[in-house]
Chain A
Amino acid sequence: MPRDYDLADLEAWDARIRTLTEAFGLDCYQQEFEVCDHHEMLAYMAYSGMPSHYPHWSYGKSFEKLKTLYDHGVSGLPYEMVINSNPALAYLMRDNSLLLQILTIAHVYGHNDFFKNNFTYRTTRADYTISTFKAHAQRVRAYIEDPSIGLERVETILDAAHALALQCRRNLAVQKLTEEDARRAALEAAAPRPDPFQRIHRPQEYIEPDLRKTPLVPDEDLLLFVRDHNPYLAEWEKDLLTIAHEESQYFIPQIETKIMNEGWASYWHKRILDSLDLEPDLSIEFIVRHNQVVRPHEGGLNPYHIGLRIWEDIHKRAGADGDAAIFTVRETDRDTSFLRRHLGEELIRDLDLFQYQRKGNDYVITEVADDDGWREIRNTLIASVGMNTVPVIRVIDGDSGGKRTLVLEHVHDGRDLHPEYAERTLAFVYQIWQREVALETVIGGKRQTLVHNDRGFTVKSTK
């Protein structure tokens, strides 16, 4: 494909865009752009954009899937990929037109600013992203090459770890209680409350807190709990669990802010390109491309579209303080709170959002954006963004009175677990826990306990 621009052109456009980002008040990490071809882009996508990543067959599968879709023209490639690291790393596709590169560069600075400033990303340690992933890759490769371990055994652990990696704490801005804190909290809770009418009240019965209970408070970090409480795991197995856990912790902010983040980047590429005074042909191409990216997907949801519309709405409603308003929101919200606070009745009506449910083999609209429906729609939407699509499953007992049965509890929010997936995933828990595991859940309104032990899988009804 003939390209009518070279790297110097890109650098010149980048310099102009950077001047604008500073003028607008975006606060970015240093930015690195790497020009790549479509094959490299597919590989970056398969490995979540990371320049180095440990090997696992699932990434081969994802590559094949992406490539098949791309080769058959079902889906194109993203114009860009940005990694949350300091300096931020972004890939530009070599075969894109000049306008797409300009749009991409502007879009990338939007993400860059978001990564640096949104509160959810504070735990991701962006300075060390690249080196952390590299160190993980080296460790996994070393285990694979170790003749006493080998690919098969590494894969077995990684399969289980990948299946459970998202079973972890979601809001990383809230600190996890250390064991001592948990113990202190338990003691304080048990201590008798000061009572000014002690003399006339019956003395409160002192219930001794069970400090031997493990965990003292329900624990959502499943992989870490297994790592710390299964003494039969070898060091390399524990390390693999840690690696999988750390990776999911790194990606959770991106899962948690998909709509905000894409909306934010789209909002800024629009504002930046509008201020660039593009020549007419570039300008027309921009309108076409921009609309391709942010068009609504009928029947589905396009996070670029929803996000952009909400940001525009916030800016408009704040009037003259629009910029200040959006900068505050980009720092202090994530998708859940963003939607709850800023997606109002009017906007839902404008976007014509609806709620659907499966009835038999059909998906049928159950609520539309009217006076009664909009709240319902918003709540359903909130329940289906970010980590809310992952059921909350926490460890409530790791000992079961010496039996060492691992008891998990599904915090039921009205949505049942997918039974086949629950069964198969529980097998992975059993595999790394190596003793009986039990999952308490609700299926079809009935309390049930799914159990996996050395005799296989069973379902028990509980009263």
Chain B
Amino acid sequence: MPPVDSIFRPFRPSDAERSDRAAGDRARHREKVRQAIRENIADIIAEEAIIGKSRDRIIKVPIRGIKEYRFIYGNAAPGVGQGNGQSQPGQVVGRHDAEGKPERAGDRPGVDYYETDVRLDELIDLMFEDLELPDLERKRLREIPSERTAKRKGYRQVGIRQRLDKRRTVRARVKRLMATRGRELLENGQAEDDAPPDRPRFPFHDDDLTYRHLVTDVREESNAVVVCIMDTSGSMDTMKKYLARCFFFLLYQFIRSKYRNVEIVFIAHHTEAKEVTEDEFFHKGESGGTLISSGYAKALEIITERYHPTLWNIYAFHCSDGDNFDTDNPAALRAAKELTDVCNLFGYGEIKPLGSRSYESSMLNVFRRLDADNFQTVLIERKEDVWPSFKALLAKDRVVEQPQST
């Protein structure tokens, strides 16, 4: 038998730097994760956890598509473990949590539970990739300057005091000084400041003064306002409010992520309507009866006051359980008609958790009489519906006919 031999290969930092061999496979894996998220987005949206959370929060997303499936045994098969010397029959040694994940280590080889961390931001970007506010450009509002900022554009000899560029001004003076008295200064080997007081001053001249020149930067963008109207009446129970908020949360995040220049108005109504802040809109409950027309009237009022339809693209969305006072229906219909006249799109989402549809009145029947191309209704029955109906409202390829002339 030849004597056993061995070789030692030392660590070479250059190898270590070059050897990120898993990089390609990691990138491919991440790509697959993103793809899986995109496919499961409807389920992820339905999880309550993301509503009302700040955008930089990291959420856990269960991924289905990325498990590595093989033939394995199910959960019922027994296993063997090691005890501390006092094992008794019937003793509980571990448990499954609610999601069926084993909490014990080293258990069930091969079962591959997979979760990934995604920033809510990233998730929202993924979600809204294919969506856009329909028909945003229609009002030719590119002509309207939406953003006024000053942009630097070179230097001038004239200008106002605030824009004096001191540094350049002093440099201009030093140049002039060297040009006129340079030789003299060099010969004396003296700096100017040490010069005897009898030497003549060398003051700033008008020619030295340099001003920054600014021009107004006009960026042309579309102006848009989104009016969110939510029914906060007593009949809107927790589940319904949750669904409505879910819907508006998506809308809000969508607008925030896509349009820097879009204004959002929140209106909460029961029998009367008022404009509320974002926080109140998402987090405060109210009670009372329902007059849908009040919400619409408020919206119209705000629109006439602040967002004239000739200048603004207006999008209005309303969520309610449709449990309106019957007497208010004609008024609501009228107001809705008016809204469709001024809005690019007016969407109505009716929240009817499953089972409640049969015995409650519905605005969907009322709105059926509203004949306008830019009016959309969706029915949300459970949380899984939120995302599809949201998409239906905003899908890019949806064609909205020219509804009105302004």
Residues of A participating in the B interface, judged by any CB pair closer than 8 Å: 7, 10-11, 14, 18, 21-22, 27-37, 39-40, 42-43, 46-47, 55-61, 63-64, 87, 94, 151, 155, 162-164, 166-167, 296-302, 305-306, 351-358, 361-369, 377, 380-381, 383-384, 389-391, 393, 410, 414-419, 421-422, 424-425, 428
Residue of A nearest to B81 (CB): A299
Establish whether residues A364 and B29, one from each chain, have CB atoms under 8 Å apart when the complex forms. Answer: no
Q: Tell yes or no: B104 within 8 A of A by CB.
A: yes
Contact of B78 among A39, A163, A296, A366 (CB under 8 A): A366
Using Cβ atoms and an 8 Å threshold, which residues of chain B touch A418? 72-75, 111
Q: Which residue of A lies closest to B5 (CB)?
A: A30
B161 interfacial contact with A, CB 8 Å: no
The 7 lowest CB-CB distance pairs between A and B, nearest first, are: A60-B25, A60-B29, A300-B106, A60-B26, A424-B69, A35-B11, A363-B94
Check B32 for interface membership: any CB of A closer than 8 A: yes
Q: Please, how many angstroms separate the alpha-carbon atoms of A383 and B94 in the complex? A: 20
- B 60-94 to A, binary, CB cutoff 8 A, 1 in contact else 0: 00000011111111111111111111111111111
B107 interface contact, C-beta 8 A: yes
A300 and B9 alpha carbons, distance in the complex (Å) = 37
- Tell whether A18 pairs with B6 under 8 Å between CB atoms, given A43-B20, A301-B82: yes
Instruction: Answer whether residue B215 sits at the interface, using C-beta atoms and an 8 A cutoff.
Output: no
Q: Tell whether, in the assembled complex, residue B69 and residue A362 are in contact, meaning their CB atoms are under 8 Å apart.
A: no
For B73, list chain A residues within 8 Å (CB): 389, 391, 415-418
> Of A306, A365, A416, which is within 8 A of B88 by CB?
A365
Other A-B pairs beyond A11-B8, A301-B82, A358-B96, 8, CB < 8 Å:
A14-B8, A18-B4, A36-B11, A61-B66, A167-B71, A296-B82, A356-B80, A421-B70
Q: Known contacts A365-B88, A368-B88: does B72 contact A32 (CB below 8 Å)?
A: no
Give the residue name and chain of the A residue nearest to B21 (CB).
A43
B75, A358: Cβ atoms closer than 8 Å: yes
With A35-B9, A300-B107, A356-B93 as contacts: A368 and B74 at CB distance below 8 Å: no
Q: How many residues of B contact A (CB 8 A)?
A: 65
Interface centre among A21, A35, A305 (most CB of B within 10 A): A35
Say whether A28 contacts B83, CB under 8 Å. Answer: no
Contact in complex: A381, B80 (CB < 8 Å): yes
Asked if A21 contacts B16 (CB within 8 A), the reply is no
- Cβ-defined contact, B25 with A353, below 8 A: no
List B residues at the A interface (Cβ < 8 Å).
1, 3-11, 15-16, 19-22, 24-32, 66-97, 102, 104-107, 109-111
Using Cβ atoms and an 8 Å threshold, which residues of chain A touch B5?
Answer: 30-31
Main secondary structure on A side of the interface with B? mixed
Which residues on A sit within 8 Å (CB–CB) of B110?
A: 389
- 16 A-B contacts (beta carbon < 8 Å): A31-B4, A37-B11, A40-B19, A57-B28, A61-B29, A63-B25, A155-B28, A299-B104, A353-B82, A358-B96, A361-B95, A363-B92, A363-B107, A365-B93, A368-B87, A417-B74
Chain A residues, CB < 8 A from B69:
163, 421, 424-425, 428
Contact B68 A58 (CB under 8 A): yes
Contact across chains for B8 and A384 when beta carbons are under 8 A apart: no
Tell me which of A14, A29, A56, A352 contacts B85 (CB under 8 A).
A352
Q: Is the CB of A30 within 8 A of B6?
A: yes
Given A43-B19, A167-B71, A365-B87, CB of A302 within 8 Å of CB of B82: yes
Complex Cα–Cα for A417 and B20 (A) = 38
Inter-chain contacts of A7 with B (CB < 8 A): 8, 10
Q: Are A380 and B79 in contact (CB under 8 A)?
A: yes
